[in-house]
């Protein structure tokens, strides 16, 4: 018997097309019902129930009951990060879905990566923050510098009020379409929520795409444009 983690079991779970569609749907960060996920999988409710049981047993999804319904989510940030990496690998090898359309450019500009901002706008934000010295970067960690803490304070984000989580405050996540990093972790989640609460961005129904409002586009460029001075809001 070979030693080490067994990747074949998880690969088989993710590799089934119906289960892959379910997992991709959950990358929006929303909790979905079995009926909604059956629609994504393109099968019957009975078949979907079997797929969901396998995914939950494999530790890829979790559920919570509310009333008569069960809502499913990805089990953890680690699962979301793995799926995003696989999407990048598939895109790099030309393994894209046959369904194309006007949403594709929108997904590349701005989209939800489980619970944080991804796409060109997510990469722009991370690159701007890094260039302005908002992070202390080591081979193993990504933390906010004092300048970064000041910037977050100017956005009126209280880090002490963020939901408790085992996730790190800041984490790099490789963007599958841009092949560069965007910001994940508790701060990445809080910043996306900040943009949505101010109606700078809104989600496209039944998609991971985010659309910037005219005001949101202006404010985003003011905050994360290439030549942004310190303290710009």
pLDDT by residue for the chain (233 residues), tens digit each?
466 677 888 899 999 999 999 998 898 887 888 888 998 888 788 888 999 999 999 999 999 887 777 889 999 888 988 898 888 787 766 655 544 443 478 888 999 988 899 999 999 999 999 999 999 998 888 999 999 999 999 999 998 888 877 889 999 988 878 878 899 999 999 999 999 999 999 999 888 899 999 999 999 999 998 544 444 44
Q: How many Cα atoms sit within 13 Å of 230 on the Cβ side?
A: 9
Q: Which of 59, 75, 91 is the last residue of a domain?
A: 75
- 135 and 33 in a single domain? The answer is no
pLDDT at 104: 75
> Domain check: are 37 and 105 in the same one?
no
Map tokens 């359309």 to a residue: 101
Angle in degrees, CA 30, 209, 83, rounded to 5: 60
The conformation of residue 208, written as its DSSP 8-state character, comes to S
d(CA 135, CA 129): 7
Q: Are residues 112 and 159 in the same domain?
A: yes
Closest CA to 37 of 56, 9, 12: 56
Are residues 26 and 119 both part of a single domain?
A: no
In the prediction, which pLDDT does 4 show?
63
Is 2 part of a structural domain of the chain? no
CA distance 91 to 97: 9
The boundaries of the domain holding residue 22 are: 7-75
Task: Please tell me the predicted confidence (pLDDT) of residue 61.
Answer: 94
Question: Look-up: residue for tokens 């963007």?
Answer: 175
Specify the number of domains making up the chain.
2
pLDDT computed for residue 102 by the predictor: 39
pLDDT of residue 233: 45
Are 102 and 60 part of one and the same domain? Answer: no
- Beta strand 210-212 pairing with 142-144: unpaired
The residue out of 40, 75, 110 marking a domain boundary is: 75
Predicted confidence at residue 187, as pLDDT, reads 95
Are residues 61 and 85 located together in one domain of the fold? no
Q: Are residues 56 and 114 in the same domain?
A: no
| Residue 129 · residue 182 · CB < 8 Å | no
Instruction: Give yes or no: residues 46 and 109 share one domain.
Output: no
* pLDDT at 94 (0 to 100): 62
The label of the residue with tokens 């008569």 reads 68
Identify whether 211 is part of a domain: yes
- Residue in the structure block whose two tokens are 């530790």: 59
In a domain, 229, yes or no: no
Q: pTM, whole model, 2 decimals? A: 0.69
């Amino acid at each position: 018997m070979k030693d080490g983690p067994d990747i074949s079991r998880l690969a088989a779970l993710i590799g089934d097309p119906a289960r892959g569609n379910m997992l991709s749907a959950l990358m929006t960060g929303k909790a979905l019902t079995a009926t909604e996920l059956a629609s994504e999988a393109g099968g019957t409710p009975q078949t979907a129930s079997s797929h969901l049981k396998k995914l939950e047993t494999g530790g890829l999804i979790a559920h919570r009951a509310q009333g008569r319904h069960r809502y499913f989510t990805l089990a953890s940030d680690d699962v979301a990060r793995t799926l995003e990496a696989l999407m990048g690998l598939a895109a790099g090898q030309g393994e894209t879905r046959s369904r194309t359309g006007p949403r594709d450019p929108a997904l590349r500009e701005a989209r939800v990566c489980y619970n944080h901002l991804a796409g060109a706008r997510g990469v722009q934000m991370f690159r701007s923050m890094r260039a302005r010295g908002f992070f202390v970067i080591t081979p193993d960690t990504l933390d906010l510098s004092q300048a970064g803490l000041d910037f977050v304070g100017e956005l009126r984000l209280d880090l002490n009020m963020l939901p408790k989580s085992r996730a790190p405050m800041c984490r790099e996540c490789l963007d599958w379409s841009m092949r560069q990093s965007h910001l994940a972790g508790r701060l990445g989640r809080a910043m996306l929520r900040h943009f949505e609460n101010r109606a700078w961005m809104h989600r496209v129904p039944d998609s991971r795409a985010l659309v910037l409002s005219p005001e949101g586009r202006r404010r985003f460029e003011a905050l994360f444009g290439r030549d942004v001075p310190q303290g710009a809001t």
